[in-house]
Amino acid sequence: MNDIATAAPDSGLLLHARLATLADAESHGLIEDGALAWRNGRILWLGPSAQLPAAFDDLRGQALDACGALVTPGLIDAHTHLVFAGDRASEFEQRLEGVGYEAIARAGGGIMATVRATRAASEEALLAAALPRARALLREGVTTVEIKSGYALTLDGEARMLRVARRLGAQLGIEVRCTLLALHAVPPEFAQQRAAYVDAVCADWLPRLHAQGLLDAVDAFCEGIGFSAAETRRLFAAARALGLPVRLHADQLSNLHGAALAAEFGALSADHLECTDDAGVAALATAGTVAVLLPGSYYALREKRRPPVAALRAAGVPMAVASDLNPGTSPLRSLRIAMNMACTLFGLTPLEALHGVTAYAARALGLDDRGRLQPGLRADLVLWDAQTPAELSYWLGGDLAAAVFAGGARRK
């Protein structure tokens, strides 16, 4: 009965769209006047509208006519810290007065300011604070988002953050991937016992949180004001023993050879990379680790060192682009603005930026079922109020996502 097909929430048909399939890294893989059909949340067919097989005739009644507009895979924000309480607008003012980020952190502000606010917040308050941030991403086409813990730094508090992240996904109908970032800062209780903190995270927190189904990956802030390479190594060994993938905040403010360390452990991604050297780039290339570029924090901190984009490109390292949405260094609630910044500040092409928030962002999360338009993949789709892929990086702001589908169901 046609009624049933019409009512199916995760089946549908798009007609007369300019499909950017992103089938390979060198092109947009455009299909002009394309049709795309999906059932049960999966893409079943795509090709020229005139060649749509009769098997999808039942979907025509609910078809969306794109009238030639652009359709891309759902966007993927592969690096955020969007669950937190409070804000750090006062630090923004301080930094504008010339006080440095590291100086603010060493004086007890920075990450620790957000830790105090986050510890004091209930699970419901954290959820209420995070929802508009996740919604802002969804409204502009994000259908998968990675969210890190790291602002509670107690076992229960980190679990609370991760539960909130999972609940955001369930509530908005998008997919959330959860990353443990307990090695973000040393909590005050462990100020004189760093090694004991790292021990607790590795031997106790990690297995417990994993057993609760709260972890998809493990990350660390490997930095002069964060954790050393040796401490990161211990965490990665513990993650490996549990079969959990790792990623790393690497070489953002200083070169602790984080990229090479991430590569050594076969990390899914190494993120930031402003201070990464040639050896780090070569190691990423060999390991197949994705470089996640985060221009929001580069911009907000008014950094001078850019990630070695030309070297990454020449070495064939896949580059993803993410918002790094966090209250301190990247209060950026827009993945499209991150794409623009990746082009304007880091020299990516708009094509690279688009691959960076789709196919390569999927790879940075270890997900092979999304990020391109292809039969068998998830029906994560965005119909844009735009004609060309370059427009997604070109327009600064604006409500360009006309329709958003996640797992085949309409979310906007």
**Residues in touch with Fe ion (CB under 5 A):** 324
By C-beta, is 83 or 209 nearer to ligand DI6? 83
The two tokens of residue 74 are: 């759902």
Phi-psi region of 379 (alpha: psi -120 to 50; beta: other; left: phi over 0): beta
Residue 326 CB, nearest approach to Fe ion (Å): 6
The two tokens of residue 85 are: 């309480």
Residue 82 CB, nearest approach to ligand DI6 (Å): 11
With CB cut-offs between 5 and 8 Å by kind, which of ligand DI6, Fe ion, none does residue 328 bind? ligand DI6
Task: Sort 67 into a burial class: Cβ within 10 Å, 0-12 / 13-18 / 19+.
Answer: exposed
By C-beta, is 7 or 89 nearer to ligand DI6? 89
- Is residue 215 within 8 Å of 162, Cβ to Cβ? yes
Identify the residue among 28, 167, 177, 249 touching ligand DI6 (CB under 6 A).
249
Stretch that binds ligand DI6, among 107-115, 138-146, 368-376, 391-399 (CB under 6 A): 107-115
Nearest alpha carbon to residue 394 among 354, 340, 342: 340
Stretch that binds ligand DI6, among 41-49, 202-210, 319-327, 362-370 (CB under 6 A): 319-327
**Binding to ligand DI6, residues 253-282 (CB under 6 A):** none
By C-beta, is 8 or 182 nearer to ligand DI6? 182
Stretch that binds ligand DI6, among 65-73, 110-118, 313-321, 343-351 (CB under 6 A): 110-118
Rounded distance between C-alpha atoms, residue 290 and residue 287, angstroms: 9
**Locate tokens 């470089």: which residue?**
291
Rounded distance between C-alpha atoms, residue 291 and residue 297, angstroms: 15
With CB cut-offs between 5 and 8 Å by kind, which of Fe ion, ligand DI6, none does residue 327 bind? ligand DI6
Instruction: State in Å, rounded, how far the first CA of the chain is from the last one.
Output: 27
**Binding to ligand DI6, residues 131-170 (CB under 6 A):** none
Rounded distance between C-alpha atoms, residue 146 and residue 366, angstroms: 11
Identify the residue among 269, 323, 326, 340 touching ligand DI6 (CB under 6 A).
326
Residues ≥6 apart with Cβ < 8 Å to 154: 119, 187
Identify the residue among 221, 298, 346, 405 touching ligand DI6 (CB under 6 A).
221
Run of H or E including 410: strand 409-410
Distances (CA, A) of 116 to 55, 86, 110, 332: 57, 9, 10, 21
Stretch that binds ligand DI6, among 1-9, 18-26, 275-283, 320-328 (CB under 6 A): 320-328
- Is residue 356 within 8 Å of 342, Cβ to Cβ? yes
Residue closest to Fe ion when measured from CB atoms: 324
Residue 370 CB, nearest approach to ligand DI6 (Å): 25
Stretch that binds ligand DI6, among 65-73, 164-172, 230-238, 323-331 (CB under 6 A): 323-331
Count CB neighbours of 261 within 10 A.
24
- Is 327 a binder of ligand DI6 (CB under 6 A)? yes
Interface positions with ligand DI6 (CB under 6 A): 110-111, 114, 184, 221, 249, 252, 297, 324, 326-329
